[in-house]
Amino acid sequence: MPITVETPRAEPGGSLYKTEEKLFEDIQANPGEKAFIFIHSVPFEGSVSLVNLLTATRLVRKGFDVSIILYGPGVLLASRTRGYPTVGTEGFPGNLAVNRQIETLLKEGAKVYACRFAMGALYGFREEDLIDGVQAFNPLDVLDSALTAWRAGAFQLNTWTV
């Protein structure tokens, strides 16, 4: 005979998890600590780029000096000209989430860099097309930014998708 188990249906606002439970220490940055987020990822190919920007925002709010290095297809995250049918208009819900997150990061003190080589050679993307506050950089700085992070003993998050 099969056993039937009845449980109450989940309702909006109900919690299915122990959201108050935290297992690890809530670490805050010590003065001068840095974090580098390297993103070589195609916008909207999965959620990895947006998740990394949300993680970067959390690092800023924990007190880290955050630098975000966009290179390869990652430079497309910093497009100021995104939107449809007009620039700045969401073509679908969440279409501008990356732009809004980068703007939040810049407003809260993060530095965001985009590789000029990827912008020009790969995508025909001009510096004028970057979100205000994003700084274009020399492609040789991809390695030197990683070495800078290493020398500083900084937290690093590296994401590659192709």
Structural domain includes residue 3: no
Task: Give the range of the structural domain holding residue 126, as residue numbers without chain letter.
Answer: 34-160
- Two structure tokens written together for 156: 């690093």
Mean local confidence (pLDDT), 153-159: 95
**Percentage of residues in the chain with pLDDT exceeding 90?**
80
Mean local confidence (pLDDT), 42-64: 93
The mean of the pLDDT values for the chain is: 94
- pTM to 2 decimals? 0.90
Mean local confidence (pLDDT), 59-81: 97
Structural domain includes residue 29: no
Structural domain includes residue 1: no
Query: For residue 64, is pLDDT > 80?
Result: yes
Structural domain includes residue 5: no
CATH number at residue 62: 3.40.1260.10
- The whole-number pLDDT of residue 51 equals 94
| pLDDT band at residue 117 using 50, 70 and 90 as cut-offs | very high
Q: What is the number of structural domains in the chain?
A: 1
DSSP per position, the chain:
-PPP---PPP-TT---S-TT---S----PPTT-EEEEEEE--TTSSSHHHHHHHHHHHHHHTT-EEEEEE-GGGGGGGBTT--SSSTT--SSTTTTHHHHHHHHHHHTT-EEEEEHHIIIIIT---GGGBPTT-EEE-TTHHHHHHHHHHHHT-EEEEEE--
Structural domain includes residue 63: yes
pLDDT digits (tens, 9 = 90+) for 13-33: 888 888 889 999 999 999 999
Structural domain includes residue 4: no
